[in-house]
A and B are shown apart, each in its own frame.
Chain A
Amino acid sequence: MGAARKPLEPPTPEQTAFLERAIERYGKATYNFAFRLTRNEADARDLTQDAFIRVYRAWRSFMPGTSFLSWVYRIVTNLYRDELRRKKGRFQEEIPEDNAPQAFGGERPLAVSPIEDYVEGQLSESLTRSLEMLSADQRAVVILADIEEYSYQEISEIMGCSIGTVRSRLHRARALLRRLLQQQQRAER
């Protein structure tokens, strides 16, 4: 990943203490977030390392009293996007943003959940596969909203987009997850 390419400056004692504390308190959360985003241990390691190098370099820009974890997640998300752009030349194909609700009206079938039919292990595997099929931004929104339990407002700040965009990404990501789980269920039968 990219952040380590530029040589580092020797630290001041305050900078060293800041980084030490950041790794101690938030290293695990940052690594897990990176892993959920990349779905890959090697990439998660690189991403976490690059994120803490950014923290080290930009430690003065952190505003005390704000959430450190949100700040680190923003760094991780941006680094991951940069990395995807660098690898692919362009960002992963996005489903067009649209804030219009996906109405099903009164005609929809009764919710038949594929989820309930699965045993835990199969379910976990299917979910992992389904998560991998989401775009990076959709996956990030799902992780932040459902796993990290951030509000739409906080997610919009972390991802640098509007609340409307967060909302539509989450709606589409969850709809896609459900569809993918159903498809996998059918395929396994």
Chain B
Amino acid sequence: MMQHITTDQLIDYIHSALAPAEDAFVHTHLEVCPQCRAEYAVEVRLSEMLRDQAAREAREMPSAIKANLWQLIRDSKPSFGRAVRAWFRPAYALPVAAAIILSAYLAPTYLGNHAGPPTIDAAYYLQDHAAMNGSVPFGDRSGATPAEYESGSSVDQTAVNTVPVVFTADTTQH
């Protein structure tokens, strides 16, 4: 007696869910068995009906769903945890950290020392500086290079006239 295919096998066959050997068996059997072929046609028709029904019922998504969704999102509020975490995002955290570091650096200057920055008495500075330059042959006011000084061809006669007094005295002493 010919072994017929079960309905379950037919359903799996329609959904391509049989192992290759079983699939081949069902395929071959359907070609020779009108009884199973009729059963197969019913199952195929049922699948078609379901798809047709779904196509007939298909509809667009109501726009109210989208509107409600965006409204819910617009009304959303951050939780406490998220609000705290937001402060640790680089966009916030980096400028805040920079401001703290800058404040820590500048605070002693502007808060701790009320006398202001150190100053030099202008009269003292001018006298002392002029006196030093007068006695230093290569100071910024001497105007003569060592070579010029040696050759006696300094362009700055003031320097030549004033400085050698010390030098002449020094050399003669040696």
B57 in contact with A31 (CB, 8 Å): no
B35 in contact with A110 (CB, 8 Å): yes
B56 in contact with A32 (CB, 8 Å): no
B7 interface contact, C-beta 8 A = yes
B17 in contact with A124 (CB, 8 Å): no
A178 interface contact, C-beta 8 A = yes
B62 interface contact, C-beta 8 A = yes
Q: Quote the shortest CB–CB distance from B79 to chain A (angstroms).
A: 6
B122 interface contact, C-beta 8 A = no
Q: Please judge, given known A-B contacts A8-B76, A101-B9, whether A30 and B61 are in contact too, CB under 8 Å.
A: yes
B46 in contact with A115 (CB, 8 Å): yes
B76 touches which of A7, A30, A115 (Cβ 8 Å):
A7
Q: By DSSP majority rule, is chain A's interface helix, strand, loop, or mixed? A: helix
Q: By DSSP majority rule, is chain B's interface helix, strand, loop, or mixed? A: helix
A7 touches which of B50, B59, B77 (Cβ 8 Å):
B77
A184 interface contact, C-beta 8 A = no
Q: Please judge, given known A-B contacts A106-B4, A111-B38, A146-B50, whether A152 and B17 are in contact too, CB under 8 Å.
A: yes
A23 touches which of B7, B8, B9, B66 (Cβ 8 Å):
B66
A45 in contact with B64 (CB, 8 Å): yes
Q: Count chain A residues whose beta carbon lies closer than 8 angstroms to a beta carbon of B.
A: 53
Q: Count chain B residues whose beta carbon lies closer than 8 angstroms to a beta carbon of A.
A: 48
Which stretch from A48-56, A58-66, A79-87 is at the chain B interface? Answer: A48-56
B54 touches which of A32, A167, A174 (Cβ 8 Å):
A32
B41 interface contact, C-beta 8 A = yes
Q: Please, which residues of chain A bring their CB within 8 A of the CB of B45?
A: 113, 115-116
Q: Please judge, given known A-B contacts A146-B51, A170-B15, A177-B46, whether A11 and B72 are in contact too, CB under 8 Å.
A: no
* Other A-B pairs beyond A10-B73, A52-B69, 4, CB < 8 Å: A35-B57, A101-B9, A108-B39, A111-B39
